[in-house]
C-alpha cells in the first residue's frame, strides 16, 4: 500500500513536469521541481541554483526536443518507494519516451530521480539520465561547462 502510494506520487510528478516542459510553462514546473536542483548524465552534471537557471536549462532542453521533431514526451515510472525512515522522500526510476510523427524521435532512455516533500508539495530534487549528455544535450552545455570549470578551479585550489 505504501509502495503503491510512492509509485502514484512519483508518476504524478513525472506527468505534471512533462506536460509543463512541453508547454514551456516554467511556473508550473517550479511548483514540482525544487531549487536548488541537481541533474546529471554519465558525462555531465549541473546544479540549478535559481529559477532563472532552471528556466535556461528547461528552455534549452525543450528547444532541443522540438528541433528533433518531438511531439510527445512521456515518462513512465518503473519503480518508486519511500526512502527508509523518510516519509518525505521518494526514490524511483522511470523510462523516457519521445515520439514524433514517424515513431520514436529519440531512443528511449532510463532515469533515476528523487522527490522530496517541501511545504506540502512533492518536488524533484535530483535526476540522473542514464545516457551521455552529448547524445541529447539534456543539460545546457554552457551552464554545464561553466560549472565543470568551477569544479576544476576548486580542485586546483585544494591541491
Residues 64-90 have pLDDT tens digits of 889 889 999 999 999 999 998 888 999
Instruction: Give the domain CATH number at 32.
Output: 3.10.450.50
**Number of neighbours of residue 73 by Cβ within 10 angstroms:** 19
Q: How far apart are CA 56 and CA 152, in angstroms?
A: 23
Give the torsion sign (CA, 99, 39, 8, 62).
negative
Q: If you average pLDDT over every residue of the chain, what do you get?
A: 87
Measured CA to CA, the distance from residue 39 to residue 48 in angstroms comes to 8
> What percentage of the chain carries pLDDT values higher than 90?
52
Expressed as residue numbers, the domain containing 80 is 2-158
Domain total of the chain: 1
Q: Residue 47 — very low, low, confident or very high, per pLDDT cuts 50/70/90?
A: confident
Going from the C-alpha of 106 to that of each of 103, 118, 159, the distances in angstroms are 9, 33, 42
- Nine-digit cell string for 46: 549541473
Q: Which residue has the cell 518507494?
A: 81
Amino acid at each position: 500500500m505504501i509502495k503503491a502510494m510512492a509509485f502514484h506520487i512519483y508518476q504524478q510528478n513525472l506527468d505534471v513536469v512533462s506536460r509543463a516542459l512541453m508547454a514551456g510553462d516554467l511556473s508550473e514546473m517550479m511548483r514540482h521541481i525544487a531549487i536548488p536542483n541537481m541533474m546529471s548524465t554519465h558525462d555531465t552534471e549541473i546544479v540549478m541554483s535559481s529559477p532563472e537557471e532552471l528556466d535556461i536549462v528547461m528552455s534549452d532542453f525543450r528547444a532541443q526536443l522540438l528541433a528533433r521533431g518531438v511531439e510527445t514526451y512521456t515518462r513512465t515510472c518503473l519503480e518508486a518507494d519511500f526512502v527508509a525512515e523518510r516519509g518525505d522522500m521518494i526514490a524511483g526510476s522511470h523510462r523516457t519516451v519521445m515520439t514524433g510523427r514517424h515513431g520514436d524521435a529519440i531512443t528511449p532512455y532510463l532515469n533515476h530521480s528523487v522527490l522530496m516533500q517541501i511545504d506540502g508539495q512533492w518536488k524533484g530534487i535530483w535526476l540522473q539520465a542514464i545516457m551521455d549528455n552529448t547524445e541529447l544535450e539534456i543539460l545546457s552545455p554552457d551552464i554545464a561547462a561553466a560549472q565543470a570549470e568551477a569544479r576544476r578551479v576548486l580542485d586546483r585550489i585544494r591541491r
